[in-house]
Amino acid sequence: MKHLFFSIFLIAITLNSSQAQTALKESSKSPLTIGEIVSIDSKILSENRTLNIYLPEGFKTSDTLKYPVIYVLDGSMNEDFMHIVGLVQFFNLQMNMPKTIVVGIANIDRKRDFTFPTIDRKLKMDYPTTGASRKFIDFLEKEVQPYINANYPTTNQRMLIGQSLGGLLATEILFKKPLLFTEYIIVSPSLWWDNESLLKDAKMFLGAHSKMPANVYVAVGSEGEIMEREAKMLAELLKDSGKPNLKLEFLFLPKENHATILHQSVNDVFKLMYPYKEN
């Protein structure tokens, strides 16, 4: 009798499980969509480049509402794009951040695209593809931004986020073409590149611009003497530049390392920019 009861019990479990699976199979599915993936045929870079684009809730291309844009270097789906989007969505929901478009620029060869030429033999040997940042900056200025502005309703607010070699590139853009973006979040910049030549020539670059209307945030964690010193030096150079419309915030986050610094620093910068939304 016990065996019979146990057999009936097993059959009942199997039937319930089968019915549940059938019910699940019959449930509808739809894609989880947060934006668009765009492929650009870049004439400047002579290659196809991918843009991952987050579009905020309620976005309509025909809407009269215009959106600020955040450009994320290292913007591949498996890099920094998704967690920056998560921060933007949270700060839009809970803080005073406006609805914002996020453009993640997917990488092909970041060592090539984010570095300027060097004469250092060891660097050239260790990083044989490097030195094409000028082309990449032209790509941002002449192809990426015009495409975004032509296809999406945008404001004049343009933020650039870059870490490590991306921070090096963001610093180079700030020094050479500061009007390309209105906000710069420069995290743990690899200013050691080319024996710190960008830092050594900083006063020359800064002196070449009568106005630098930008809000700049420089962040670094506990990442070793060299990187910490260079980030602090960059902040001091910007602070002492004498540019009245250049606003600087320096964030030292001692609890963060090179792996964790980007997410936390962007979170902290957004807190400075967009305070809590009072009900």
86 with 116: CB under 8 angstroms?
no
**What is the total residue count of the chain?**
279
The 10s digit of each residue's pLDDT in 169-188 is: 999 999 999 999 999 999 99
Instruction: Say if residues 66 and 107 touch (Cβ distance below 8 Å).
Output: no
Cα dihedral 132/134/139/141 (nearest 10): 160
Can you give the pTM of this predicted structure? 0.90
- Binned at pLDDT 50, 70 and 90, residue 22 comes out as low
CA–CA dist 146, 126 (Å, integer): 35
Pairing of strands 101-105, 47-54: antiparallel
* Cβ(162)–Cβ(188) below 8 Å: no
Predicted pLDDT at 20: 55
pLDDT digits (tens, 9 = 90+) for 95-108: 999 999 999 999 99
DSSP E strand stretches across 43-148: 47-54, 67-72, 101-105
* pLDDT higher than 90, residue 50: yes
Contacts for 92 with CB less than 8 Å, ≥ 6 apart: 56, 98, 99, 100
Sign of CA dihedral 59, 163, 160, 275: positive
Residue 162 has pLDDT above 70, yes or no: yes
What are the residues whose beta carbons fall under 8 Å from the beta carbon of 65, sequence distance 6 or more?
A: 99, 153
CB distance 235 to 204 below 8 Å: no
